Amino acid sequence: MTIQEFNPTDYLPQSYYPWPDLINPHTEKMGIDQIRWIEEDYTYLTEKQQKKYKKMKLHCCIARMLPYASLERITPCHRFILFQSVFDDQLEYKTAEEIDAMRLRLVEVFNGSQPESNENGLFRQAYKIGAEFRAFMPAVWVARFVDAFHRVTRYGVVDEAPYKENKTAMSLIYYLINREYSILMYPYLYMIDIETDFVFPDLLDKHPVIQRLRTLASRIIGWQNDIQGLSKELRLETEVTNLIVVLQHQYNLSLKDALAEAMKIHNADLAEFTELAKVLPDFGIYQSHVDRFILGLGLQIQGVNSFYINDTTRYLPDGSGFAWPEEKSLELKDE
């Protein structure tokens, strides 16, 4: 198999998952808002990059992940998916130290620190996201959200940066851990609480079963992304952080065999998730909330895959739909 012959829907077709395939009724308005935010606050990007982000329709992804959320409650969520996509995309050539410095500052801004006058629109959007979440979510939830952003950036993006810089693939055993974080999913998994209007008490939030379900959901979506984005990523020499690439490097596999092994890993995680959901411990008065939480995780897994198939130009096989870093966008200060 050549990369030109590869079709991700041969591996993850529309109906692959057992959960409903839904989309939020406010999607059209969300798209209008997201274009406006790009034009107002992402002007530090080149004109070419801005056009590409508009075409990606990232709002459709969160609309599929949170199909029942009100417009008010989903607004900071789709601000965040645009924010985090731009933030992550433009770090391709940044060092671990540079990324970590941005992480520290963005955590401050999410927590209410006003952006400085010379900080660009990425920071202004981060401030708005934090303020909008605080308007209707309790402080304990906001702290969990910000901590999730910190964890995926510090233990995912920062730790993978040296491998990209050195163009060296991770060992499989480490990649299976790192990808859980570098896929950047944990902040979105907490957004289920926004849709259900219920925040887990601390004891339930930290329950090993709840934590494991989040881990599996994050991993499954990471494997989705590696499969759906493979054609695009093989066109950039720094993109060695992909499960298929890692498998090829470690075991000297053909593309076809590496894809087959990747699907085995994906399917094992999916089987564990669905089986665990069937044999939950007794959560007592919280049982219905846990059941809804599991459905929410399933909707996110299904929704992200449907976004890849139906909505976006982000993962065009030739890489032309992706907003690769350009010289102007490497600087995160306003001109």
The pLDDT tens digits for 164-192 are 889 898 999 999 999 999 999 999 999 99
Quickly count: other Cβ atoms within 10 Å of residue 11's Cβ.
18
Q: Report pLDDT for 92.
A: 83
Each residue's pLDDT tens digit, 75-92: 999 999 999 999 999 888
Average pLDDT on 113-132 reads: 96
* 79 or 323: which leads in pLDDT: 79
Q: Are 267 and 280 in contact (CB under 8 A)?
A: no
pLDDT reported for residue 45? 95
Q: What mean pLDDT do residues 96-111 have?
A: 96
Q: What is residue 332's predicted lDDT score, i.e. its pLDDT?
A: 46
Q: What is the pLDDT of residues 19-49, one digit of tens each?
A: 999 999 999 999 999 999 999 999 999 999 9
User: What pTM did the predictor assign?
Assistant: 0.95
Domain layout of the chain by residue ranges = 27-318
pLDDT (0 to 100) of residue 9? 92
CA–CA separation, 205 and 199 (whole Å): 9
Specify the 3-state DSSP secondary structure of 27.
helix
Mean local confidence (pLDDT), 56-79: 98
pLDDT digits over 247-286, tens only? 999 999 999 999 999 999 999 999 999 999 999 999 999 9
What is the total residue count of the chain? 335
From CA 272, how far away is CA 295, in angstroms rounded?
Answer: 15
Neighbours of 70 (CB within 10 A): 15
Mean pLDDT, range 278-303, rounded to an integer:
97
By the 8 A CB rule, do 115 and 131 touch?
no
pLDDT of residue 317: 85
Angle, CA 219 vertex, CA 280 and CA 25 arms, to 5°: 80
Q: Tokens standing for 54?
A: 């508009």
3-state secondary structure at position 94:
coil
pLDDT at 236 over 70: no
Q: Which CATH superfamily is domain 27-318 in?
A: Farnesyl Diphosphate Synthase (1.10.600.10)
pLDDT, position 241: 87
**Residue 237 above 80 pLDDT?**
no
Q: Looking at residue 240, what is its pLDDT? A: 79
Give me the pLDDT at residue 334, please.
46
Mean pLDDT of 223-248: 85
Q: Residue 332, exposed/middle/buried by CB under 10 A (0-12, 13-18, 19+)? A: buried
